[in-house]
Structure formats: structure tokens, C-alpha cells
Amino acid sequence: FSSSYQSWTNLVIGGTVTSIGSSAFSGCTGLTGVTIPASVTSIGGSAFYGCTGLTGVTIPGSMTSIGSGAFRNCTKLTDITVDASNLFYRDIEGVLFSKNLSVLIVYPAGRTGGYTIPDSVTSIGSYAFSGCSKLTSVTIPASVTSIGSSAFYGCTGLTSMTIPDGVTSIGSSAFSGC
């Protein structure tokens, strides 16, 4: 890619693409929209890292793997929608979870205010809240036992959080930059 890719505003990925590699569109700050076709089954780690203009993403039914931090530091991202036919992922009000709701994978970094994690969640994934600088509070339910690495990295607006007694594992840099 030349440096002009940073000024892209809309990205339509062709129907022959089956995977998006790690850091593939990292730093595309002008990107506001992306269309991921049903042919894509995997998105690599940090694939859209730092796409600060991206506001929404739709995950197709075909998606089987989303890498760690795929949408981290997308500071205008407010909504992630998952096609209802997807067997691995689902969304609840724009937040990305594993299909069985046991893992919170991505909380969109562009959201403001507080958030209460559903009681079904047992694990907060790596980079799940990374870059959520406008997030002011998080309520973690007693069901959570692990918090992934860099899970709350850069959450500079956090003023309130209680880590329940049931948490047995907190990953490296989980609260770095708070």
C-alpha cells in the first residue's frame, strides 16, 4: 500500500477474499465504513487497529475467527453488528460477544458513559475495552473469573470499577494507561 490508503473513507472487500490478515488495515484513520463479505471467515489480530474514523462494523454469518485487538483503538466505533446466522459470535446492543455470551470480545471504543457487563460473561477478552477513553464506569458481574491482557488499556475516563472476588486471573497491562 502507498500512504494514500490512510485517506480511504469506505472499504468494500471483494467476495473472493476469505481472510483479513493481522494489521491489514491498521492506521487507516480516514476509514469510516467497511463492508465485509460473507466469503470472509477470519479477521487477524489488530486488523483494523487505529482506524479512528470507523463508526460501525457488520460481522457476516461466515465469520469463525476474530483475532485479539482486531478493532482496538477505533475511537469512533459505536456499533458492532453480527449476522444472526453466525455460529461463533453475536452482539447485544452493538457489543461483540462469543455466541454463548461467556466472553466479552469487543466493547466499541467510541461509546460514552458506563456499562454493565451481562451476568453470563465469565471472561473479558484481551483488548476488549482498549482505547475506551470515554467509558466512565464498568460493572463487572460475579460470574467473571478472568480479565485478558490489555483489556482496559487506555481507558483514561474510568472513575469507577469493582473487580469481583471470583476473578482469578488478570492479564498483563490489563489496566495500563488508565
Dig out the grid coordinates for 63 from the structure: 465469520
What's the CA gap between 18 and 126, in Å, rounded? 24
Dig out the grid coordinates for 80 from the structure: 458492532
Backbone angles phi, psi at 92, to 5 degrees: -125, 115
The answer to whether 80 touches 94, Cβ cutoff 8 Å, is yes
Q: How confident is the model at residue 2 (pLDDT cuts 50, 70, 90)?
A: very low
Q: Which helix (H) or strand (E) holds 10?
A: strand 10-12
The answer to whether 109 touches 125, Cβ cutoff 8 Å, is no
State residue 6's pLDDT score. 57
**pLDDT tens by residue, 14-71:** 999 999 999 999 999 989 988 899 999 999 999 999 999 999 999 999 999 999 999 9
What's the CA gap between 23 and 176, in Å, rounded? 22
Dig out the grid coordinates for 150 from the structure: 490489555
Adjacent-strand bridge partners of 146: 123, 169
Q: How confident is the model at residue 1 (pLDDT cuts 50, 70, 90)?
A: very low
State residue 35's pLDDT score. 86
**pLDDT tens by residue, 112-141:** 999 999 999 999 999 999 999 999 999 999
Dig out the grid coordinates for 71 from the structure: 478493532
